[in-house]
Amino acid sequence: MGRTAHSEDCLTDAPLLPFAPSEMAVVEPRGMRNRKGLSCPLWTENKALLIQEYIKLFTYVTKHGAYIDGFAAPQRRNHAAKCSAKLVLENKPPWVRDFWLCDIDLDGIALLEQIKAANQMKGRRIEVLPGDFNTTVDTVLERIIAASSAEGATVLDPFCGCGTAVHAAQKLGRQWIGIDVTHLAISLIEKRLRAAFPGVAFTVEGTPKDLASAQDLAARDKYQFQWWAVSMVDAMPFGGKKKGADGGIDGVIYFKPDGKRTERAIVSVKGGLNPSVTMVETLAATIERERAPVGILLMNALPTREMERRAAAVGRFDAPATGKTYPRLQIITLAELFRGKKPDLPLIDPGAAFRKAAREETARQDTLL
Ligand SMILES: C[S@@+](CC[C@H](N)C(=O)[O-])C[C@H]1O[C@@H](n2cnc3c(N)ncnc32)[C@H](O)[C@@H]1O
């Protein structure tokens, strides 16, 4: 998290300059032989060295970053020597002053208090926070951002994931920049922010904005394209975004045809340029196997007449909730996605795919960086 301005309870007046590379040692993790005779750095043996290297890179990137460990207590309660938080504190990273250590277990908290007592330093703040990090992370990030930056400052989260820090920054009236390598994370954050801060202004860079950039992504990175395409129809990526064999399922959309029971529409993404009847046949077989009422085929190429005929032949299903029928196998092309076409499904349950953020009281960011 970048620190660009200081509020009154800020701990340090250190200048906002990059530190000299000589301030921290360059660490080469020791090579180890595993059971198969391969040379590799083993995590348990090299933890201290890896942490040192990590902290060095972390400090390079963030300058005044804060260290937050949500699951901080030593894994082996009777042997705290390799505890990450302890190793980080002992490493004395000169530019990291704020340490937030959380654990749900009271024995663990007692150990963290001991670690805190043994590692006090001038200008350093160590806070030990008891509680479930999954529920306290929002509050912790808000406290850190409030303490480490003034209103209008910019918060950078270079690995913004599900957007907790970005959300907290927005709520507190900071500017923010979030970076993430996956399109799923970006689309999740977009939905989260628009739900919590209606009218919020921000731009998304790097996500395909038109057909050409989507086709470019399809050609460059099969999985990123797949996850992006799945997010365009508000589907959950199948199998938690694992790469590899997926049994013909790339995403799932949940809906309730009778208003009560949840059913699945199975999404299959085809980024290639050659349309084939096999694509329709395979998806038809997949929805039969999975007992799913609907299959959605997202295609880069245009479907052939025969593909459309076979898709129509799969039939329609009834939705008592709307009193209408819907095609069981639906083909949507990339071009149609960009024209706003969505799967034709009754009572989609978006909450099942994306956790809905509660609407926030404060929604102050209207200007962009
Ligand atoms: C694998 S240990 C952490 C190891 C530690 N980071 C280290 O380097 O030695 C996992 C810790 O997470 C804590 N924990 C588990 N669930 C938690 C939750 N929801 N919130 C906070 N702490 C949790 C456990 O009490 C345990 O101390």
Q: Hey, what's the torsion of the CAs at 273, 274, 278, 279, to 10 degrees?
A: 20
Does residue 211 contact residue 333 with C-beta atoms inside 8 Å?
no
Contact 241, 259 (CB under 8 A): no
The pLDDT of residue 100 is 92
**Does residue 59 lie within any of the structural domains?**
yes
Q: So what's the pLDDT on residue 102?
A: 95
Q: Compute, in angstroms, the gap from residue 157 CA to the centroid of ligand 1.
A: 23
Structure confidence at residue 11 (pLDDT): 36
In this prediction, residue 276 carries a pLDDT of 94
Structural domain includes residue 51: yes
Do residue 191 and residue 222 come from a single domain? no
Look up the CATH number of the domain holding residue 77. Answer: 3.40.50
- 29 C-alpha to ligand 1 centroid (Å): 25
Question: 148 and 77, same structural domain?
Answer: yes
Instruction: Give the pLDDT confidence score for residue 147 in this predicted structure.
Output: 85
In a domain, 79, yes or no: yes
Q: Report the separation in Å between the CA atom of 72 and the middle of ligand 1, taken as the mean of its atom positions.
A: 6
Evaluate: CB of 84 within 6 angstroms of ligand 1: yes
Residue 254: name the closest of 266, 263, 241, 267 by CA: 263
Please indicate whether residue 104, judged by its CB atom, sits closer than 6 Å to ligand 1.
yes
Residue nearest to atom 6 of ligand 1 (CA): 72
Q: What is the pLDDT of residue 24?
A: 47
102 lines ligand 1 (CB under 6 A): yes
Q: Does the CB atom of residue 128 touch ligand 1 within 6 A?
A: no
* Ligand 1 contact via 105 beta carbon (within 6 Å): yes
Exposed / middle / buried, residue 117 (Cβ in 10 Å: 0-12, 13-18, 19+):
exposed
pLDDT value for 277? 96
In 10 A of CB 118, how many CB atoms?
A: 11
- We report the CATH number of the domain holding residue 333 as 3.40.1350.10
Residues 294 and 161 in one domain: no
pLDDT at 129: 93
The amino acid sitting at 6 is H
Q: Which parts of the chain sit beneath pLDDT 50?
A: 1-19, 21, 24-25, 353-356, 363-369
Which of 78, 103, 107, 132 is the pocket-test mutation for ligand 1 (most atoms within 8 Å of CB)?
A: 103
What pLDDT does 34 receive? Answer: 57
- Please check whether residue 265 lies inside any domain of the structure: yes
Provide the residue range defining the domain that includes 267.
Answer: 211-351
- 73 alpha carbon – ligand 1 mean position (Å): 6
